[in-house]
Structure 1
Amino acid sequence: MSLLSVLTAAVAPGVALLAYFYLKDRYDTEPIHLVVKMFIFGILLVFPVMVLQRAFVHGLGEDPFVFSFIISAGLEEFLKWFLVYVVIYQHASFDEPYDGIVYAVAVSLGFATLENVIYAFLNASSITSLLYRALLPVSGHALFGVIMGYHLGKAKFDRVHKKRYLLYSLALPIFWHGAYDYLLLTAETYWLWCALPLMAVLWMRSIWKVNRANAKSPLRVIQGEEQVKT
């Protein structure tokens, strides 16, 4: 494969998934420059994560459970969550529950895209292996982002249960990401038969969350009233 072909195949899944979730926003699509900004922040996040994970491995060892839930999922999802919370959570453009999904997915897919590019070049990947990564690791990051963003959106607009949803927005992506990684590390010969049902469940739950977040949009009511008036 040529250099351009490898790069395109590695980048395309992340960009396609981001476009998919971006266009799922029914009522008020987010400013594209903010979405691109969060995607780039996700790319930049790869470098500190690599350094910190190496340090954590030296300190904590490589026990599959510790590696999956703390070194991999815990560190990655916490830094993604922190980035979204600090940069965009209080931003004026975050004005409906679905926006949390858009921005969390943008960060997650920025991270997954560079990770995929690095993997492709270090392992001289074929189209088949990159297709596998598109279906599993890259889409997995997107779905963990949906879970995170859905609960961040609920936290932003449900003041009564804000702390609970903020906790869910961090804990649930760590759980699902950790479960996925642990499965890959421990199910040696039959991991694919476990990973595919897990991804199917995550996709179904994510589509439900996408629809649910859109249904809770305050802009849905406003637009409905405008249509009635016209």
Structure 2
Amino acid sequence: MTVVTLFTAALAPAISLLVYFYLRNQYGSNMIGQVIKAFIIGVLLVFPVMVIQYALEGEALITEPWFKAFVNAAFLEEFFQWFLLYFIAYRFGTLKNRYDGIVYAVSLSLGFAAAENVLYLMATGIDFAVGRAFLPVSSHALFGVVMGYYLGSARFKVNDHVKKWLFLALIIPVVLHGFFDLILLTINQYLFTSIAPFMIFLWWFALTKVKKANERTE
């Protein structure tokens, strides 16, 4: 296995999903520069998050699967992504419409997923590439869609519920991410039949947000 093969297998799913969601923008916003910056920020974010996660596990603070799923994985990863998006997209970004929030969030989430995927495949081998493309990488993209939708709704003050949208931008991805990881951590037999319905729901939920974000009036 060459380094080029590994990096291609690790990065291809993230880039493909990023292109897919970027092209779903019916407003035609040109955000290539912002997309690249957000993706790079996501790549860099994986390292401090992994250090914190490793420290928590090393101190034996994590004893239950639900805590590892919802706190050590879901909350830490989604909080830092939400925190960065709040400043680079919501406060100081150039959001022109709600869908731009999705583009920012998906870019950052997939940068994180791509770096995580590279590290994982370097440790375990390329045999896991297909499974990770369909599960961890795609789920990160979908969590990003949800976060970006609510962040965009807050930015454009949909129904004037700014604080509510900002809260939902964090809590809903955390809950979805937590359940995803909990399934992977606790179910050994019939894993596919357990995770498949959740992934179908996640895709449906995210794509409804894509559709709503592309509506020009509400």
Q: Does 1:203 align with 2:203?
A: yes
Contact 1:30 1:93 in 2 (8 A): no
The aligned counterpart of 2:216 is 216
What is the deviation of 1:134?
0.5
**Counterpart in 1 of 2:130?**
131
Determine the C-alpha separation between the residues in 1 that align with 2:208 and 2:62: 38
> Scaled by the length of structure 2, what TM-score is found?
0.95
Kept in 2: contact 1:97–1:157 (CA 8 A)? yes
Q: 2:149 aligned with 1:154, yes or no?
A: no
3-state SS of paired residue (1:60): coil
CA RMSD between the two structures = 1.4
Distance 1:16 1:83 in 2: 23
Letter in 2 for 1:23: L
Please report how far the alpha carbon of residue 91 of structure 1 lies from its aligned counterpart in structure 2 after TM superposition: 3.5
Large movers: runs of 4+ above 4 Å: none
Paired residues of 1:155 and 1:161 also in contact (CA < 8 A):
yes
- Tell me what 2:140 maps to: 141
Percent of pairs identical after alignment? 45
Partner in structure 2 of residue 226 of structure 1: none
Alignment of 1:41-190 (within 5 A): 41-57=41-57, 58=59, 60-91=61-92, 93-126=94-127, 129-158=128-157, 160-190=160-190
Alignment length (residue pairs):
216
- Tell me, yes or no, if the aligned pair for 1:13 and 1:134 is still in contact at 8 Å: yes
Contact 2:56 2:72 in 1 (8 A): yes
When residues 184 and 60 of structure 1 are mapped into structure 2, their CA distance, relative to the original with a 3 A threshold, is same
Runs (5+) with no aligned partner, structure 2: none
Structure 1 residue identity aligned to 2:168? Y
TM-score of the superposed pair, with normalisation by structure 1: 0.90
The alpha carbon displacement at 1:89 in A equals: 1.1
Structure 1 gap ranges (5+): 219-230
Amino acid in the other structure paired with 1:180: F
Q: Distance in 1 between matches of 2:147 and 2:175?
A: 11
